Amino acid sequence: MLKEYSNFFREASAALERIEDTLVGIQLSDKDDAAQVLAMQALSMSRNHCRAIALLLEADLFGESLSVFRSLFELHFDLLWVQSCNCASERLERVYRLEANPYSKMADEARRIVADANSSTPHTSKEMSDKWKKVVEESVEDYPHLVIKNPDGTSKFKKAPQLDEKMGDLRIQYYHIYRLACLFTHPTPMLKQLYLRQVGNYVTVNEMVGDTLKRTLAHGLLFVEYIARIAIDLLRAHLPQNHNVTDKSLDDLFQLVERANDGYFGTPTHKLRQGGLS
């Protein structure tokens, strides 16, 4: 099974690479075309993640493959959250909120460092806290589109919703898959039988998690297909006039998902709704 899915993800990586190749030379503005920049990043990251999962499965490292799957899951729902808007301006604003998230966390960390440096028992030097404060101030000046002005004249970075909020009603259908992937990022008593092998020598790890792993990997391929479809939708104005390669690659991804699907998606032929999960 692992070998089969390793091949599936390797084929998915190749299909994404063919799509990327058609977009070489596109000129985009980081600010004005932020949604398109996000789409191109998504294609590239998904290609690399698929290749990584293929290699991990080939090495029989299924837990590690699910850790990478987690990134694909998050990426899909970020893109779907952006793409689900009705107007281009709102899509752009949502991309800005995603982009601002790391800056918001950096600003929070800077405030903690400054407070610590000014405390009676500091762990951080005044020089270091001043550097952090300056970085935040310069970021506010450099990226005004990522900032909200407060009534008192101060500024704060925008924030995107948490993953479960971005998923909306789809959380009920898919969040449990994400929680499963998260189990493999750190030790937990829930996984002790897998890693301590307290099940007898006649049961392999793959046999213990076989169907669950297959179902999760199949969904991973489904998310990859939708990432590609959403990215192409966001990049539609920049596509070459001849869409043959893009259309063929999307169909290849569709067929991969069909081959991986064992009734996991509700119907023999999975359905699309607005480029994302239905």
Domain match, 176 and 234 both: yes
Domain match, 128 and 170 both: no
Predicted local confidence at residue 274, as pLDDT: 38
User: Could you tell me the residue range of the domain that residue 84 belongs to?
Assistant: 2-89+162-260
Domain match, 153 and 166 both: no
Domain match, 205 and 251 both: yes
Domain match, 226 and 112 both: no
Number of Cβ within 10 Å of residue 164's Cβ equals 12
pLDDT tens-place values along the chain, 278 residues long: 688 999 999 999 999 999 999 888 888 888 889 999 999 999 999 999 999 999 999 998 888 999 999 999 999 999 999 999 889 999 999 999 999 999 999 999 999 999 999 999 999 999 999 999 999 999 999 999 999 998 888 889 999 999 999 999 999 999 999 998 998 888 778 777 676 665 555 556 566 667 888 899 999 999 999 999 999 999 988 877 767 889 999 999 999 999 998 878 866 566 554 345 54
- The 3-state secondary structure of 41-80 reads HHHHHHHHHHHHHHHHHHCCCHHHHHHHHHHHHHHHHHHH
Q: Read off the tokens for 278.
A: 């239905």
- Domain presence at residue 192: yes
Domain match, 64 and 106 both: no
**Under 8 Å between Cβ of 219 and 176:** no
Separation between Cα atoms, residue 81 and residue 198, nearest integer Å: 42
Number of structural domains in the chain: 2
Domain match, 166 and 244 both: yes
Look at residues 141, 157, 173 and tell me which one is the last residue of a structural domain: 157
- Domain presence at residue 181: yes
Q: State the pairing for strand pair 155-157/147-149.
A: antiparallel
Domain match, 85 and 169 both: yes
Q: What are 276's strand-pairing partners?
A: 273
Predicted local confidence at residue 211, as pLDDT: 81
Q: Which residue has the tokens 């998915």?
A: 12
Separation between Cα atoms, residue 118 and residue 256, nearest integer Å: 58
Domain match, 187 and 149 both: no
Instruction: Please name which of 270, 272, 252 lies closest in space to residue 262, comparing C-alpha atoms.
Output: 270
- Domain presence at residue 247: yes
- Domain presence at residue 37: yes
Domain match, 126 and 190 both: no
Predicted local confidence at residue 207, as pLDDT: 66
Predicted local confidence at residue 275, as pLDDT: 44
**Under 8 Å between Cβ of 270 and 221:** no
- Domain presence at residue 248: yes
Domain match, 127 and 207 both: no
What are residue 111's phi and psi, to 5 degrees?
Answer: -65, -40
- Domain presence at residue 270: no
Three-state DSSP at 149 gives strand
- Domain presence at residue 41: yes
Predicted local confidence at residue 148, as pLDDT: 95
Domain match, 38 and 135 both: no
